[in-house]
Amino acid sequence: MKREIKKGIEWVGKVDWEIREFHGAEYSTHRGTSYNSYLVKDKKTVLIDTVWDPFSEEFVENLEKSGDLKEIDYVIANHAEVDHSGSLARLMDRIPDVPVYCTSNGVKSLKGHFHKDWNFVPVKTGETLDLGSKKLMFIEAPMLHWPDSMFCYLTEDNILFPNDAFGQHIATELLYNDLVDQAELYQECIKYYANILTPFSRLVEKKINEFVNLDLPVDMICPSHGVVWRDNPLQIVNKYMEWSKNYQENQISIVYDTMWNGTRKMAESIAEGIESKDKSVRVKLYNISHTDKNDVVTEVFKSKALLLGSPTINRGILSAVAGFLEEIRGLGFKEKKAAAFGTYGWSGESVKMINDGLEKAGFELLSEGLRLLWNPDAGMLDECEQFGKEIASKTES
């Protein structure tokens, strides 16, 4: 299937309605996704990115049936991750001499994935490819989010092709940002940023400033996942700027796991304490073993503080909490506060272990945490409420 998005520019990607796990099982895709590939036809024809390799046969067949395959003069590989480069092997079998434009890191990554010596043309920021009446300008974007990542910009039509940046995992036949449900779109954009781009926020800010300084008009942004931004396309760029600056809302997330409900009761009483002290703050509770971890990461991204709880088990913490600590360590959140809590029966190491994990993850501890022996009674739950009030006081905006 192909869709004309502007005269001479076609979307030739694949909408994947079925996928529910991405990056192995690392990223949940509740709303599916798309792998966007674009064909730009001028005096020369250029294919920008491909689709994930389970769809490579269909992708190449479609290009062949439409007569476009033999017209391709250049291939652009903005990013070597296989959701975008996966069809290159099948494609290049058919058009082996066509040059593949990518960054020098892209050459390494593509060779590392496919072990082929295609006709690579490494490019740098500012270099251009003449298509006849228009040019494609290349903009390296290292670590947004791989070393090889690159954007390209089409002059005359003023279209930015930023690959993963500004994308989101949504399957839709509607194609454009103004046609889809806006709440769903926002949720998928912020989830994508929180879970994928948070570690690279400084680079996001720098790259956006660099792009703004090029003073190029932008009529459309065509990322490699989800919708094409045609209505006020810079809205997503502005959101990225906001999110890249240690973003937080007036929210506290309480994330926990529990064995016999003692730590759950603590979580709920702490929440009551926070709410009684500060009516303006939004408090959300998540049992991490029953909640999608990427959704919880998105809530932590929006939070000014994270309270993390686990009972003690085998001198340690519950495995879902341990996994979550590893998740947030890798993301490297900045300027967020935190505290630990949990019940115990005898050895009672959980709070200290969570404190250590939170500090390693870059959170500022608000207290030594709260640990309670056995199942909390009314008095102990009052202690939890008091703990919540103290957290509210220390985080009041």
Query: Which residues are near ligand FEO by CB under 6 A?
Result: 79, 81, 83-84, 145-146, 164, 224-225
The residue (of 52 and 247) whose beta carbon lies closer to ligand FEO is 52
Nearer to ligand FEO, 229 or 256 (CB): 229
- Nearest residue to 274 via CA among 256, 294, 244, 254: 254
Based on CB atoms, which residue is closest to ligand FEO, 81 or 188?
81
Catalytic, 188? Answer no
Of 10, 42, 164, 188, the catalytic one is: 164
The stretches of the chain forming alpha helices (DSSP H) are: 56-65, 82-85, 88-94, 104-114, 182-192, 201-213, 234-244, 262-277, 293-302, 319-331, 350-360, 378-395
Establish whether 169 is a catalytic residue: no
Rounded to whole angstroms, how far apart are CA atoms 172 and 192? Answer: 17
**Cis peptide upstream of residue 79 (ω within 30 degrees of 0):** no
Stated length of the chain: 397
Catalytic residue, candidates 10, 83, 188, 385 = 83
For ligand FEO, which residue has the nearest CB? 81
Kindly state the smallest distance separating residue 296's Cβ from ligand FEO, in Å: 22
Catalytic residue flag (residue 115): no
Nearer to ligand FEO, 224 or 355 (CB): 224
What is each CA distance from 397 to 31, 239, 392, 394, in whole angstroms? 34, 22, 9, 9
- The CA-based angle 148-85-58, given to 5 degrees, is 165
Please identify, using beta-carbon distances, which residue of 143 and 208 lies nearer to ligand FEO.
143
Residue 176 annotated to the active site = no
CB 200, min distance to ligand FEO, A: 12
Query: Shortest Cβ distance from residue 107 to ligand FEO (Å)?
Result: 17
Contacts of 295 (CB under 8 A, 6+ apart): 28, 191
Residue of 153, 192, 256, 344 marked catalytic: 192
Q: CA of 59: how far to CAs of 36, 77, 78, in Å?
A: 11, 15, 18
84 is catalytic: no
- Beta carbon of residue 83, minimum distance to ligand FEO (angstroms, whole number): 4
Cβ atoms within 10 Å, residue 278: 19
Please pick, among 81, 278, 327, 385, the residue that the annotation labels catalytic.
Answer: 81
CB of 373 to ligand FEO, least distance (A): 47
Q: Where do we find the tokens 């690392």?
A: 26
83 belongs to the catalytic site: yes
Q: Residue type at 238?
A: N
Which C-beta is closer to ligand FEO: that of 191 or that of 277?
Answer: 191
Kindly tell me which of 83 and 257 has the beta carbon lying closer to ligand FEO.
Answer: 83
Q: Minimum CB separation from ligand FEO for residue 181, in Å? A: 22
Q: For residue 193, indicate whether it is catalytic.
A: no
Quick one: tokens of 29?
A: 């895709």
HSE toward the beta carbon, residue 49, CA cutoff 13 A: 31
- Beta carbons of 147 and 109 less than 8 angstroms apart: yes
Show Cβ contacts of residue 245 under 8 Å, excluding neighbours closer than 6 positions: 201, 205
Q: Report the 10 Å Cβ neighbour count for 200.
A: 22
Minimum distance, C-beta of residue 338 to ligand FEO, in the bound complex (Å): 29
- Residue 377 annotated in active site: no
Mind telling me the catalytic residues? 23, 79, 81, 83, 145, 164, 192, 225
